[in-house]
Amino acid sequence: MDRYAVLGNPVKHSRSPRIHQLFAQQLGIDMEYRSIHVELGSFTDTVRHFFLAGGRGVNITVPFKQEAFQLAEVHSQRALRAEAVNTLLLGKNNLYYGDNTDGVGLLRDLKRLSFPLQGRRILLLGAGGAARGVLAPLLEAGPAEVTVVNRDAGRAALLAHAFSDLGKVRSAAYGDLSGSYPVIINATSASLSGELPPLPEHILTQGGYAYDMMYGAQPTIFMHWALQAGAAEVHDGLGMLVEQAAEAFFLWRHQRPDTAPVLAQLRAELVV
Ligand code: NDP
């Protein structure tokens, strides 16, 4: 049986095994996908062992995406841009091929949700791994501009500079934000600890769109904030999670699962 896994620390709560199980069921494939808790310092050994034992592919989550990037011998363009790898497989000549499906996952979900991106000003909160992974496809969607804002404004400036060849991207500190944005995407981990980024009042255009990459059984604190700020559409990152998984599945098996029923199933299971 073909074997796959998600590697992380912590990884116990990962929804990836369930998502890939649903993909496999849908396509009538007999495969195994499990989660592996990896101790810090043993990521490379774990990956090598998994593939030597016949494993077909792995997903990588916090905090190993940069290590996976180092381990990969061949990179996709999007992994090179993101400087992070969330999907590994053995490619040509048995070389480790690393890709990053987070960005395409977000963009597919935003498309499903009919978020208007083209010609709009987009505010991207955060400058960590998730923000880096989505910036290239966001810029390719043709916004008027993307503003990257971060607590550590220096990190935002570095990120904006690194992607400036792809479109109009600038950085800001929260205190410097002005005007309003019709689209705000939260790529910080603030919601994880029930915190809100320090956003000024009226930063979201009335009737605007808000997206939190975090997800859970209940709307996140950021989603509550956006609704109170007058958003017309507010969504969490569960759809992004399913879409990035579908892209990884496609890389491994060259088959594209239908994500809509899987997302609906996952949502129902989260709420229970
Ligand atoms: P990182 O640790 O790399 O980055 C965290 C970012 O959050 C930094 O920019 C940090 O700012 C910022 N931050 C943390 N706390 C606060 C706060 N209280 N106020 C303002 N900013 C804050 O994390 P990742 O980029 O890997 O992940 C970010 C989020 O995206 C997580 O919640 C993760 O679960 C989610 N995610 C979701 C995915 C999905 O498929 N739905 C995929 C990938 C990620 P600073 O630099 O100033 O410290």
- What does the pLDDT read at residue 155? 97
Question: How many folded domains does the chain comprise?
Answer: 2
What SS3 class is residue 181? strand
Same domain assignment for residues 111 and 232: yes
Please give the average per-residue pLDDT across 239-254, as a whole number.
Answer: 98
Helix 238-253 × helix 16-27 angle, to 10°: 50
Query: Residue 218 belongs to a domain with what CATH number?
Result: 3.40.50.720
- Residue nearest ligand 1's atom 20 by CA: 197
Please indicate whether residue 16, judged by its CB atom, sits closer than 6 Å to ligand 1. Answer: no
Q: Which atom of ligand 1 is nearest to the CA of 239?
A: 41
pLDDT tens, residue by residue, 190-207: 998 999 999 999 999 999
251 C-alpha to ligand 1 centroid (Å): 26
How close is the Cα of 156 to the center of ligand 1, in Å? 13
Structural tokens at position 107? 């963009």
CA 221 to ligand 1 center in whole angstroms: 14
Domain, as residue range, for 192:
103-236
> Is residue 12 among the annotated active site residues?
no
Helix axes 259-271, 238-253, angle to 10 degrees: 140
SS3 state at 258: coil
Token pair belonging to 7: 């590697």
Looking at the structure, do residues 116 and 223 belong to the same domain, yes or no? yes
What separation in Å is there between the alpha carbon of 173 and the centre of ligand 1?
16
Q: Do 133 and 191 share a structural domain? A: yes
Q: What pLDDT is attached to residue 271?
A: 79
Q: 266 and 159, same structural domain? A: no
Among the atoms of ligand 1, which is closest to the Cα of residue 130?
25
CA distances from 111 to 22, 128, 227, 245, 254 (A): 22, 23, 20, 16, 22
179 and 134 share a domain? Answer: yes
d(CA 6, CA 9): 10
Q: Which atom of ligand 1 is the closest one to the Cα of 241?
A: 40
- Note the pLDDT of residue 151: 97
pTM for this prediction: 0.96
